[in-house]
């Protein structure tokens, strides 16, 4: 089998593992109906310790020339950390978030964001996220956040609306 065949089968396997199948909504981060959104898709890490999303920033995401706006990077980190919770059926919202920008994220350069749960303290859950360059694995940005669980009633509604069926 040639290289193209291998790449296609690898892509099919990755898509088969996709986490958030319900994307028919307007979420700026992961909804497909938002024409201005990022249209992120999430996948489990091979070791199941968290999740990841591919992100290749476009010119529309630019801040300074050739660099992605910090707010876009922050949004990607917020989304990947949130979906690391939803993957565990923990429905919560961002209560606090701290982002450190290590190096510029360049427009057009493929990146990967990773989110992991650090500790679950009941109502509050500590999570961490990072954005790395796909080409060399270089750490571009990282975040630490505290998420607060929503009410069970809200969790049930969001689970029905956003979780994979």
Predicted pLDDT of residue 113: 98
Predicted pLDDT of residue 16: 65
Pairwise CA distance, residues 32 & 105, whole Å: 23
pLDDT beyond 90 at 26: no
Range of the domain at 105: 3-162
Predicted pLDDT of residue 19: 72
pLDDT tens across 100-155, in order?
A: 999 999 999 999 999 999 999 999 999 999 999 999 999 999 999 999 999 999 99
Predicted pLDDT of residue 161: 85
Q: Is-contact 35 27, C-beta < 8 A?
A: no
Pairwise CA distance, residues 69 & 83, whole Å: 22
Least confident of 8-12, 57-61, 106-110: 8-12
Percentage of the chain lying above the pLDDT 70 cut: 87
Predicted pLDDT of residue 27: 86
Number of domains in the chain: 1
CATH code at 85?
3.10.129.10
Q: Is-contact 82 92, C-beta < 8 A?
A: yes
């Amino acid at each position: 089998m040639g290289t193209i065949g291998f790449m296609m089968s690898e892509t099919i396997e990755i898509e088969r593992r996709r986490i958030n199948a319900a994307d028919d909504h307007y979420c700026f981060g992961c909804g497909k109906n938002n024409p201005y959104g990022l249209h992120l898709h999430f996948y489990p890490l091979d070791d199941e310790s968290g999740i990841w999303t591919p992100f290749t920033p476009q010119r529309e995401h630019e801040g300074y020339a050739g660099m992605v706006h910090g707010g876009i990077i922050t949004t990607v980190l917020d989304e990947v950390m949130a979906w690391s919770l939803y993957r565990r059926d923990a429905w919560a919202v961002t209560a606090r978030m701290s982002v450190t920008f290590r190096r510029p994220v360049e427009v057009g350069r493929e990146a990967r964001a990773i989110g992991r749960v650090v500790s679950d303290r009941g109502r509050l859950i500590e999570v961490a996220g990072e954005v790395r360059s796909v080409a060399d694995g270089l750490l571009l940005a990282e975040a630490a956040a505290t998420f607060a669980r929503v009410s069970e009633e809200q969790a049930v509604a969001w689970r029905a609306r956003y979780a994979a069926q």
